[in-house]
Amino acid sequence: MGHSMSFAGKVWRLLVGIKDGLVLVFMLLFFMALFAVLSARPSPGQVRDGALMLDLDGFIVEERAEIDPVQALLSQDAPVQEFEARELVRAIDAAVGDERINAVVLDLTAFLGGGQVHLQEVGEALDRVRKAEKPVFAYGLAYSDSSLMLAAHADEVWMDPLGLAYITGPGGTVLMYKDLIGKLNINPKVYRVGAYKAAVEPYLRSEFSDEARSNIQPIFDTRWEEWKAHVKAARPQSNIDLVANDSVTYVQSSNGDLAQAAVDAGLVDKLGTYEEFGARVAEVAGEGQTDKPGDFAQNDLGVWLAANPPSTDGKKIALVNIAGVIVDGDAGPGTAGGDRIADLLKNGLDDDYDGLVVRVDSGGGSALASEKMRLAIQMYRDKDIPVAVSFANVAASGGYWVASASDRIFAQPETVTGSIGVFGFLPTFENSLSEIGVATDRFTTTPLSAQPDTIGGFTPEVDAVIQSSVERIYDKFLTIVAENRGMTTEAVHEMAQGQVWDGGAARQKGLIDQFGGLQDAAAWVAEQGEANEDGFHLVRLGSAPDPYQSLIRQLLTSDTKTNFLQTGLTGHIAVGQRAAMGRVASDMERIVNGTGVQAYCEVCPMDMRAQDLSKGQKLLQQFAGLIAR
């Protein structure tokens, strides 16, 4: 009996081994086939006479986040599309003078948004197309603030007859966790400097303090005024005040026909199906290659970018992106890993650049990582290489710390900056354990023995040490800013303490030097380095963006456009719900894990990103799994 069981076990193990081997072979074959598919890059020879088609089914971002292809394939999940604003502007500008392109088309059906600075940059590029007497067409189903800001730059704005357009204005909900933390009996140990460092208030209060609110609200007010001015300038006939401030009258003015209401309010020009829209575009761009209704001659963004690579003329100016949360380590792109970016900068010192431009779109994060990057940037200045920093949507706290190592700072009026301050959040769980009958005891030789102890709680000596370290880092922050901006530390402290500012206020206070975008910063660097005489081009530090990333997204990402066509406004709401859940997940991680010492602007207006959706989707799936049980 024993021998037969042993023989059966060996046979079973052999079969399992064969099965595992076959699985491995099939996986290898699959990845080989996938590699062959992904190797088929867009060819410049595929460009044809017709329209430049910008199917923006995702987000406009500063830096596209990379996907781990193996993890994505195993999970069958990938973030939605991300379009780098810089690439979109390059593609649109290339269309201005190219005779093969006779129109630009924006498909905003599944557009999910982008930062206000990025939208403005793309909008200005679209204006250059119109100035060249090439029409811009836009089509959408549910127009909201972001899509309206882009569509305002079109000659003809079309919408589905069952669609709608609405304006919410800047704003957002911040979840406050004081009562939850109390119910869980977590002891929130908070260490901070400054009356305005509101990043920790969601964990300590049920509503923001008067100091925090009085500092933050003007940021949203300024953004709102800038948005209205931008849209009104591009589309003077739009009745923004009616749509935004009297939505009931707006809806009832056309007997509840939301699409017609959008036309009457001047937000939209024409109503029609996508096929009707395509037929109109075909009148300008030419007929498509298929008999499919609504097809028109068009060029895909990827093909067009391949046909129009970045310029390599003139002298070289290095460009480095600091985008996303600043963290320790090698994270990114899409997240600003301090070690990764510092190494990119150090390696770039060997390439004889005539200048450096640092593009920042970050609310900060790790103080240690911020300092590593600042020191790496300072190495260029030490070699008399001119350095300029260009702020995008947000460049606050750690994002401003990094920018201090520069000769000149450029920003836009909509940019949110400042938040010069640091904090630490380290929860302890002695009260939670006591609630379930668990006590702790210690053997010590000094007041710091077995400390810091997040399970048994901190001693007063530990609190004093941590608070002192936070204050020291804050003093370091003040000193860095003061030395680089030609101020006293007392003057910097007066405008610091975690306060945030829009670009206009920041310029008045001397935190930035002038208004302008990335190209303005690059032109200034070129002028300082006398590179403008021979022309210049930007060289992005680091490996070139992986051309296969977008294809991986296309293979694995659900059909966002189909979902939006089916759900309209509710699709927009569902996207916002998933993003909000993603932020809840991030907040819960901080509650459980703490943050360490951070130079981070928690309350800066941050635009929704694909990472929020991905994290929120996973959290919702976990909830669904619990309910299903």
- Answer for the pair 516, 391: CB distance below 8 angstroms, yes or no: no
CATH fold group of domain 426-495? peptide peptidase (sppa) fold (3.40.1750)
The whole-angstrom separation of Cα 599 and Cα 438 is 35
Q: Are 372 and 343 in contact (CB under 8 A)?
A: no
CA distance 414 to 392: 9
Q: Residues 44-70: pLDDT tens digits?
A: 558 889 999 999 988 999 998 877 666
- Kindly report the pTM of this predicted structure: 0.84
Mean pLDDT of the chain: 83
Angle between helices 2-38 and 549-556 (to 10 degrees): 120
The structural domains of the chain, with segments of one domain joined by +, span 426-495
Query: Does residue 509 carry a catalytic annotation?
Result: no
Q: Tokens 């037929």: give the residue.
A: 279
Residue type, 342: A
- Nearest 5°: the CA angle 189, 190, 196 is 165
* Band of residue 442 on the pLDDT scale cut at 50, 70, 90: confident
Mean pLDDT of 522-541: 83
Q: CA 496, CA 588: separation in Å to the nearest integer?
A: 28
Q: How are the residues of the chain apportioned to helix, strand and coil, as percentages rounded to the nearest 5?
A: 50, 20, 30
Between CA 567 and CA 578 the distance in angstroms is: 15
pLDDT attached to residue 623: 47
Mean pLDDT of the 590-602 span: 65
Known catalytic membership, residue 134: no
Annotated active-site residue in 134, 146, 189, 197: 197
> Does 525 have pLDDT greater than 60?
yes
- Could you give the dihedral angle defined by the CA atoms of residues 159, 163, 167 and 170, in that order, rounded to the nearest 10 degrees? -100
What is the predicted pLDDT for the residue at 190?
A: 83
3-state secondary structure 81-97: EEEEHHHHHHHHHHHHC
Report DSSP letters for 535-573, one per residue.
-EEEEESSSPPPTTHHHHHHHHS--HHHHHHHHTHHHHH
> CA 473, CA 481: separation in Å to the nearest integer?
12
Of 144, 370, 397, 404, which residue is the catalytic one? 397
pLDDT surpasses 90 at 509: yes
Whole-angstrom distance, CA of residue 486 vs CA of residue 422: 22
**Amino acid (one-letter) located at 399:** G
Give per-residue pLDDT as tens, 288-308: 888 888 899 999 998 999 999
- Rounded to an integer, the average pLDDT of 584-611 is 64
- Helices H / strands E in the chain, number of each: 25, 23
Q: How buried is residue 316: exposed, middle or buried, by Cβ count under 10 Å (0-12/13-18/19+)?
A: middle
Q: Could you tell me the CA-to-CA distances from 607 to 112, 403, 611 in Å, in that order? A: 10, 21, 11
Chain-centroid distance, C-alpha 515: 21
Sheet architecture: strand order including 423-428: 187-192, 423-428, 596-600, 364-366, 326-327, 336-337
In angstroms, the CA 437 to CA 435 distance is 6
